[in-house]
Copies of this chain bind each other. A is one copy, B any other.
Amino acid sequence: MSPRARAVPKKRPLGDFAPIFAALGDEMRLRLIAVLCVGGAMSITQLTSGTDISRQAITKHLSILAAAGLVRDVKAGRERLWEFEPNQLDEARRSLVAIAQQWDHALAKLKRAVES
C-alpha cells in the first residue's frame, strides 16, 4: 500500500446518501430496522408476524433495505435470516453531521462579517 492506508474514510459526495435516506424514509422499514436491531437476526415470517401487511410486502421492504446496505441476509436451511448492518447507517449519520458543520461554519463566517 502506498504512503498509508486510508485512516480517514473516502469522502463521498452528499448525493450518494440519497438512496440510504430514501430507504429510511418509510415507517415500516424504520420499524423493521428497529426490530432487527433489538431482536437480532430474524426470518421473513417472524418479521411479518405482528404487522398487518403481507409477507411479500415485507420481503420487498427488506430488499430495499438490503440494496441500501442497511440489512444483510444469511441463508439458514430453508429459511433466510435478516440482520441489521450498522455501517451504512453510521455513514448516513456522519453525513448529517457534515451538513451541520457546514452550517455552523457558514454561520460563523456570517457573524464575523457582521462584526467587522
Set of chain B residues within 8 Å of A15, measured between Cβ atoms: 27, 30-31
**Number of residues of chain A lying within 8 A (CB) of chain B:** 36
Pull 30 A–B residue pairs with CB atoms less than 8 Å apart, ordered by A: A14-B30, A14-B34, A15-B30, A18-B24, A18-B27, A18-B29, A19-B25, A20-B25, A21-B21, A21-B24, A21-B25, A21-B30, A22-B22, A22-B25, A22-B26, A25-B25, A33-B99, A34-B99, A34-B102, A37-B102, A38-B106, A40-B106, A40-B110, A86-B103, A89-B99, A90-B100, A92-B96, A93-B96, A93-B100, A96-B96
Set of chain B residues within 8 Å of A37, measured between Cβ atoms: 99, 102-103, 106
Chain A positions within 8 Å of B, measured between CB atoms, are: 14-15, 17-27, 29-31, 33-34, 37-40, 84, 86, 89-90, 92-93, 96-97, 99-100, 102-103, 106, 110
